Chains A and B, each alone.
Chain A
Amino acid sequence: MKRLALIAALLTAGPALAEPARVISLGGAVTEIVAALGAQDRLVARDTTSQYPATITELPDVGYVRALSAEGVLALDPDLILAEATAGPPEAVETLKAAGVDFVALPGDPSVQGVREKIAVVGAALGRVEAAERLTASFDKEMNAVRKSAGAVDTPKRVLFVLSLQNGRVMAGGEGSSAEAIIELAGGVNAATGFAGYKPVTDEAILAADPDVILTMDREGEMAVTERDILAHPALGQTRAAQGGALVAMDGMLLLGFGPRTPQAAQALHAALYPEAEG
């Protein structure tokens, strides 16, 4: 009896022991996936961009993901590091590997498929494959629901994403940006075309684009883009969006993070873009 109990204990303890116990997650979306897989208690640190779920911010912050301190990370004694693709510098990553830490670099594409890949890799690395499959299934289900609402749109709204508005200079999300990706998932069209990534755009280009909706991140402090700033701006203030009061502000990490909450973000953006359809 005792022996059986011991064997049973060993069998159940075995896989648990094999699972990495001290994990550092680098990248907001990666951290959200770890939490969604129920492995948040194994995290010992996170990076600056990991802000959700809110309890995560109690963990030590190892800094910006591309400027890691090898010693700072090692100080936390991790046995697994889950990092978004851009983590660096390369020398620090090499040093961490040399110190015997498992370093898993995740695919970094801002797309639905990218999120699915990230969930699979994180699940495998944490020994939570089944939980990852469940998460992917619910992600797909939510995503399909959003796709359905987005597909029902007849005339897609033209959305301008304003990343920042410093000294009157508009930084907008162009082609291939994560902003464009989420706008399209929500059933909108990116009004900023002709350039890739996040770039400053001229006032005339904004007037020519004349978006139906202006989308911003609802952050605080110096970098905040407020309604007042937009209305007072010589170009933004003249757009159809500003005139009609179609200004949408959303949580930046939710909106652009491309993690498990992307369906929620797309749904919320969709609802904000097409309030009439929501009835």
Chain B
Amino acid sequence: MTSLALPGAMRSPCPPLRLGLIALLVIAAALSLGTGAAGVSLPQVLGQWLTGAEISTRDRVVLLDIRLPRLVMGLMVGAALAVAGAVMQGLFRNPLADPGIIGVGAGAGLGAVTMIVLSGFLPTAIAAFFGTWLVPVAAFGGAWTATLLLYRVASRGGQVSIATLLLAGIALAALAGALTGILTYLADDTQLRDLTFWGMGSLAGASDMKLLVGGLLIGPALVLTPRLARGLNALALGEATAAHMGHDIERLKHRAVIGVAALAGAAVAMAGGIGFVGIVVPHLLRIAGGPDHKTLLVDAALLGAALLVLADLIARLVVAPAELPIGIVTAILGAPVFLWILIRRQGLGGV
């Protein structure tokens, strides 16, 4: 069936690409662990550990409490955003689609901003129970609420209209933007700073619990999304054709939306607004390895993870001892790449 969908040249698996991505990921991870403002180097600490020499509290904290959780969060968030983007682009058969279309970004943003501005009004007991979790939980809740709402709006008689999903997504994003505007007005100046920084994303503040909960959502979703590959490949030929080929399109849509909401919702809740990874990574991979979702979905996880970890490294180093919001880095790196891809698609690449 898939041989019908894809020309032979594109179908061939691409082990060199996969190997290259794995190598890139390993290098990115090693750089991330071994580099930083504090000047703690990996070989030096490993050496001390092997020879039984004492490792200072500071070095241990830098490596195990700061860099390692950050690395793990970068891997998870990067993989989640890139795979979510690839699935959305497959589902909408549009290379510009990203998880934002189903309301994940708008909902998460509204949830987070609500909590940043209004948490002062919460009963102290509830605020104390959630602690630093208030904003991530609210962001995730907002992402899911928006997704379910849009899905409900776009469903009729058990069928989901992709076009309605897209249009309703635009309306919902506008509404969420307006509500965010009201909350922005209510915010005091420290809250304003907080919500600005939230919107630009950061991998700082990765705690073990955050990683565990995020991992429980992102891990299974990453394992399950490659199962959508055949369906998404068939969908590339159109809904009717895919249905004729025996694919349960409605079930595919349903699973894709749930998967993307879990992936992108958890990613945004953990790290705030990080753009361009979801759009640019799948694009680059389609250029390098072709559009087959069987390879694309796995490769997207690898490349997304590697690129986000590298972006975080840049965010940590450029203005050290301070740090840049990572969303700024992904936009500065991602936007020109995206433009390049667009120009290339226009056939102007050779000019």
Interface, chain A (partner B; CB < 8 A): 45, 48, 60-64, 66-77, 86, 89-92, 95, 98-100, 196-200
1/0 per position for B317-343, CB-CB distance to A under 8 A? Answer: 001111101000000000000000000
**Pair A60/B321 contact, Cβ less than 8 Å:** yes
> A71 to B193, alpha carbons, bound, how many Å?
21
Interface, chain B (partner A; CB < 8 A): 36-39, 57-58, 61-62, 65-67, 131-132, 185, 188-190, 193-194, 197, 202, 204-207, 316, 319-323, 325
**Pair B321/A62 contact, Cβ less than 8 Å:** yes
Given pairs A67-B322, A72-B37, 8 additional interface contacts (CB within 8 A)? A64-B322, A72-B321, A74-B61, A75-B320, A75-B321, A90-B205, A95-B61, A100-B61
Count CB-based A-B contacts (< 8 Å). Answer: 99
**Pair B132/A71 contact, Cβ less than 8 Å:** no
With A71-B36, A100-B58 in contact, is A63–B205 under 8 Å at CB?
no
> A68 to B320, alpha carbons, bound, how many Å?
10
**Pair A75/B39 contact, Cβ less than 8 Å:** yes
**Pair B36/A75 contact, Cβ less than 8 Å:** yes
Distance of A64 from chain B, by nearest CB (Å)? 7
**Pair B37/A75 contact, Cβ less than 8 Å:** yes
**Pair B322/A69 contact, Cβ less than 8 Å:** yes
Distance of B320 from chain A, by nearest CB (Å)? 5
> A45 to B206, alpha carbons, bound, how many Å?
24
> A60 to B194, alpha carbons, bound, how many Å?
23
With A69-B323, A198-B189 in contact, is A92–B61 under 8 Å at CB?
no
**Pair B38/A71 contact, Cβ less than 8 Å:** yes
Query: Which residue, A64, A76, A99, A197, has most C-beta atoms of chain B within 10 A?
Result: A99
Distance of A73 from chain B, by nearest CB (Å)? 6
Shortest 5 CB-CB contacts between residues of A and residues of B: A63-B322, A72-B321, A91-B205, A99-B61, A69-B323
Contacting residues, chain A, for B204 (C-beta < 8 A): 67, 69-70, 89, 91-92
**Pair B207/A72 contact, Cβ less than 8 Å:** no
> A64 to B322, alpha carbons, bound, how many Å?
8
Q: For residue A48, which residue of chain B has the nearest CB? A: B322
The residue that B322 contacts in the complex, of A62, A98, A200, with Cβ under 8 A, is A62
**Pair A63/B319 contact, Cβ less than 8 Å:** yes
Contacting residues, chain B, for A66 (C-beta < 8 A): 190, 193-194, 197
Q: For residue A95, which residue of chain B has the nearest CB? A: B65
Q: For residue B202, which residue of chain A has the nearest CB? A: A67
Q: For residue B190, which residue of chain A has the nearest CB? A: A86
> A11 to B202, alpha carbons, bound, how many Å?
48
Contacting residues, chain B, for A90 (C-beta < 8 A): 131-132, 205
**Pair B321/A69 contact, Cβ less than 8 Å:** yes
**Pair A70/B39 contact, Cβ less than 8 Å:** no
Contacting residues, chain B, for A197 (C-beta < 8 A): 188-189
**Pair A95/B66 contact, Cβ less than 8 Å:** yes
**Pair B61/A98 contact, Cβ less than 8 Å:** yes
> A75 to B37, alpha carbons, bound, how many Å?
6
Q: For residue A24, which residue of chain B has the nearest CB? A: B321
Contacting residues, chain A, for B190 (C-beta < 8 A): 66, 86
> A58 to B66, alpha carbons, bound, how many Å?
27
Contacting residues, chain B, for A64 (C-beta < 8 A): 193, 197, 322
> A45 to B37, alpha carbons, bound, how many Å?
14
- Chain A to chain B contacts (Cβ below 8 Å), 29 pairs: A48-B322, A62-B321, A62-B322, A66-B194, A66-B197, A67-B193, A67-B323, A68-B322, A69-B323, A70-B65, A71-B66, A71-B67, A72-B37, A72-B316, A72-B322, A74-B61, A75-B38, A75-B320, A75-B321, A76-B321, A90-B131, A90-B132, A90-B205, A91-B132, A91-B204, A91-B205, A95-B66, A99-B61, A99-B65
**Pair B205/A45 contact, Cβ less than 8 Å:** no
Contacting residues, chain A, for B320 (C-beta < 8 A): 69, 72, 75
